[in-house]
Copies of this chain bind each other. A is one copy, B any other.
Amino acid sequence: MSIAKIGAQIDELDTPTLLIDLDTMERNIETMAGFFRSVPAELRPHAKTHKCPVIAQKQIEAGAIGVTCAKLGEAEAMVAGGIRDVLIANQVVGEPKVTRLVNLAEHSDVIVAVDSYINMRHLADRAKSKGVRLNVLVEVDIGNNRCGTDPGEPTLELAREVAGHNNLNLRGLLGYEGFCQNIRDIEERREKAHGAMAKLINTKELLEEKGLDMEIVSAGGTGTHMITGRYPGVTEVEAGSYVFMDATYSRVEGLEHFNCALTVLTTIMSLPRQGVAVCDAGLKAITIEPSRPLPTVKGLNGVLYERASEEHGRLKVEPDSGLRVGDKLEVIVSHCCTNTNLYDYYHCIREGSLEDLWKISARGKSQ
Measuring CB to CB, which residues of chain A are less than 8 angstroms from any residue of chain B? Answer: 1-2, 14-17, 48, 70-71, 73, 90-91, 93-94, 96-97, 100, 115-116, 118-119, 122, 141, 145-150, 178, 267-273, 276, 278, 280-281, 283-285, 287-290, 309-312, 314, 324-326, 337-338, 341-344, 364, 366-367
Contact = CB atoms under 8 A, between A and B. Distances in A.
A93 B290 contact: no
A350 B133 CA distance: 40
Contacts of A147: 269-270, 272, 278, 312
Nearest to A73: B1
Contacts of A344: 364
Given A2-B100, A48-B310, A283-B289, 7 more contacts: A2-B97, A14-B97, A17-B367, A93-B325, A147-B269, A310-B337, A344-B364
Nearest to A115: B270
A149 B272 CA distance: 6
Contacts of A115: 270, 272
5 contacts: A71-B280, A93-B326, A146-B270, A288-B290, A343-B364
A337 B338 CA distance: 17
Nearest to A69: B311
Given A310-B70, A366-B16, A90 B2 contact: no
A280 B94 CA distance: 11
A173 B281 CA distance: 24
Contacts of A149: 272
Copies in the complex: 2
A270 B17 CA distance: 37
Given A70-B311, A147-B278, A14 B94 contact: yes
A69 B141 CA distance: 45
Contacts of A118: 324-326
B366 A311 contact: yes
Contact of A93 (B146, B280, B287, B364): B280
A322 B249 CA distance: 39
A2 B342 CA distance: 20
Contacts of A310: 48, 70, 337-338
Nearest to A310: B337
A140 to B, nearest CB: 10
B326 A267 contact: no
Closest 8 CB pairs of A and B: A147-B270, A91-B269, A14-B96, A2-B96, A70-B311, A116-B325, A93-B269, A285-B366
